[in-house]
Amino acid sequence: MAELTGAQIVAKALKQQGVEYMFGVVGIPVVPIAVHAQREGIKFFGFRNEQAASYAAAAIGYLTGRPGVCLAVSGPGMVHGIAGMANAWANCWPMILIGGANDSYQNGQGAFQEAPQIETARPYAKYAARPDSTRRIPFFVEQAVRATIYGRPGAAYLDLPGDLITGTVDESEVHFPPRCPDPPRTLAPWENIERALDALKSAERPLVIVGKGAAYARAEEEVRTFIDMTQLPFLPTPMGKGVVPDDHPLAISPARSFALQNADVVLLLGARLNWILHFGLPPRFDPKVRVIQVDIAAEEIGNNVPAEVALVGDAKAIVEQMNEALSRAPWQYPAETTWWTGLRKKIEENAATVAEMMADESVPMGYYRVYRDIREYIPRDAIIVNEGASTMDIGRTLMPNFFPRHRLDAGSFGTMGVGLGQAIAAAAVHPDKRVFCIEGDSAFGFSGMEVETAARYGLNNIVFIIINNNGIGGGPDELDPTRVPPSAYTPNAHYEKMAEIYGGKGFFVTQPSELRPALEAALACDKPAIVNIMISARSQRKPQQFAWLTR
């Protein structure tokens, strides 16, 4: 009988559990895990920092429904990987961090890179464990995978001491549990489905909010049917975009503030009433708003605002139940109501303001002028990765999504620095699609070196676009090194030159007339291109009724 090493067992167990992607930085003691993962056919991407790798692993969970793995060395490497675990925890996305650890017989002796790793991972983990023997590794891998995808999705941590990784066991002694099936789709009681529909029927100003929980649930077909059947106005959250296409006639995103403030009944489909939705509280919501909540996590029900109807379970299954009930007793929200008149008026006003800002040919350019050209070059099925405060907020309103899970951004945790890892994950999952990684200059800087990673793995479907305002929220045109403001970066920094390190092409754009030729040339490149666009430090979002983060 053949002997298996711990590293071989980890790789085989992951593959057996449907893990297809691993991102990380190798070193002692995890090198053999990456090598064997590749032998098992798991796609391994060697990153330049575990932080970006962990963001990629979390994005894989969202994009594929099976956890991505971040592989990190002991101590500092594992600690860097916590960034992605926290992001996955906040976003409710499956991922697994695998941390190497010092040999267990050196515990407590001040071993090389020794650290309290399980304790460090625990607050962000649905499951955090160290296998008790090399032989039993597959048991722990299955538990970790199952924890990440069953119930509310989230992160898991596996701690692997060097002696477990190099240890050997006779093949006959190792049991590999069967692949953990995709999570069962749980239904809501029929009486609650009826109550939910009755509440919607009783509404004067109804609103459906489509969150990234609905996107994660792959509920797109059901939600589209539901919207078409009921003719209800809907609003996607940032990553709920695309579950129903942004150009759907019932989409009311441009009237977001008005809709939230005035809706009397809100149907929440996989979206939390957290800061992104202003906690569901006044002044952003009507104090008497009635909430119908669909969520896989029972403990989320009633958070911040009591739910009138709770539909606990899987969004895809529950919306299908509502569709079934509607096909038995059809009902539509009327097309001509004062609610629709109000919403349409706001949408038109907004379109006029934005059109004016997009037409502004001033130099340096503003965000809206830049996005006007970018969006013309974006194919309908492109994946848009978008981060940086204004770059992301304005990009969310101007970059349309037509397909679910085609937008990745800073998410529930407001994490800046996620973009490059997410772009690499998206490009790996969708080699046939374009990935537009549109970053503020500050957001790009967190993990800018990963452009080399993208090029090394031939992810030529990514275009990196940097909207550069010389700092965090805009910096000065010139810098005195003795008085650098905390938010300033080197003015006019030529980030596009980073493409030269892998023989790619970079483009530096300052004039509106240079924008289209640069984007065209970037899309024609045979390596990931970088387009670095200088904008005015004073460029802002269009005036908002409420300040950012106002409840």
Nearer to ligand ADP, 215 or 519 (CB): 215
Residues contributing to the site for ligand ADP (CB under 6 A) = 91-92, 152-153, 211-213, 216-217, 237, 239-240, 270-272, 274, 276-277, 294-297, 300, 314-315, 412
Which residue has the CB atom at the shortest distance from ligand ADP? 213
Give, for 468, the enclosing helix (H) or strand (E).
Answer: strand 462-468
**Could you tell me the smallest distance in angstroms from the CB atom of residue 395 to ligand ADP?**
16
Looking at residue 473, its amino acid is G
Give the separation between CA 142 and CA 501, rounded to whole angstroms: 40
Nearer to ligand ADP, 271 or 498 (CB): 271
**Could you tell me the smallest distance in angstroms from the CB atom of residue 239 to ligand ADP?**
5
Nearer to ligand ADP, 295 or 496 (CB): 295
Residue 250 in contact with residue 256, Cβ under 8 Å?
A: no
**Could you tell me the smallest distance in angstroms from the CB atom of residue 334 to ligand ADP?**
28
Residue 198 in contact with residue 326, Cβ under 8 Å?
A: no
Nearer to ligand ADP, 259 or 472 (CB): 259
**Could you tell me the smallest distance in angstroms from the CB atom of residue 241 to ligand ADP?**
9
**Could you tell me the smallest distance in angstroms from the CB atom of residue 424 to ligand ADP?**
22
CA dihedral 430, 434, 436, 437 (to 10 degrees): 40
Nearer to ligand ADP, 138 or 240 (CB): 240
Residue 72 in contact with residue 80, Cβ under 8 Å?
A: yes
Nearer to ligand ADP, 188 or 394 (CB): 188
Residue 451 in contact with residue 502, Cβ under 8 Å?
A: yes
Give the separation between CA 253 and CA 249, rounded to whole angstroms: 11
Residue 268 CB-density burial (10 A; 0-12 exposed, 13-18 middle, 19+ buried) = buried
**Could you tell me the smallest distance in angstroms from the CB atom of residue 418 to ligand ADP?**
14
Contacts of the segment 455-458: beta carbons below 8 A, 24+ positions apart = 455/499, 455/502, 455/503, 455/504, 455/527, 455/528, 456/46, 456/502, 457/45, 457/424, 457/428
Nearer to ligand ADP, 4 or 57 (CB): 57
Strand partners, 437: 385, 464
**Could you tell me the smallest distance in angstroms from the CB atom of residue 311 to ligand ADP?**
9
**CA neighbours closer than 13 Å in the CB half-sphere of residue 109:** 8
Which segments of 192-331 are extended strands (E)?
A: 206-210, 234-236, 265-269, 290-295, 309-312
Nearer to ligand ADP, 300 or 439 (CB): 300
Nearer to ligand ADP, 276 or 389 (CB): 276
**Could you tell me the smallest distance in angstroms from the CB atom of residue 236 to ligand ADP?**
8
Mapped onto helix, strand or coil, the DSSP state of residue 518 is helix
DSSP calls for 432-460: TS-EEEEEEHHHHHHSTTHHHHHHHTT-T
**Could you tell me the smallest distance in angstroms from the CB atom of residue 300 to ligand ADP?**
5
Would you tell me the crossing angle of helices 50-64 and 76-91 to the nearest 10 degrees? 30
**Could you tell me the smallest distance in angstroms from the CB atom of residue 410 to ligand ADP?**
11
Nearer to ligand ADP, 150 or 502 (CB): 150
Give the separation between CA 101 and CA 523, rounded to whole angstroms: 43
**Could you tell me the smallest distance in angstroms from the CB atom of residue 153 to ligand ADP?**
6
Nearer to ligand ADP, 88 or 144 (CB): 88
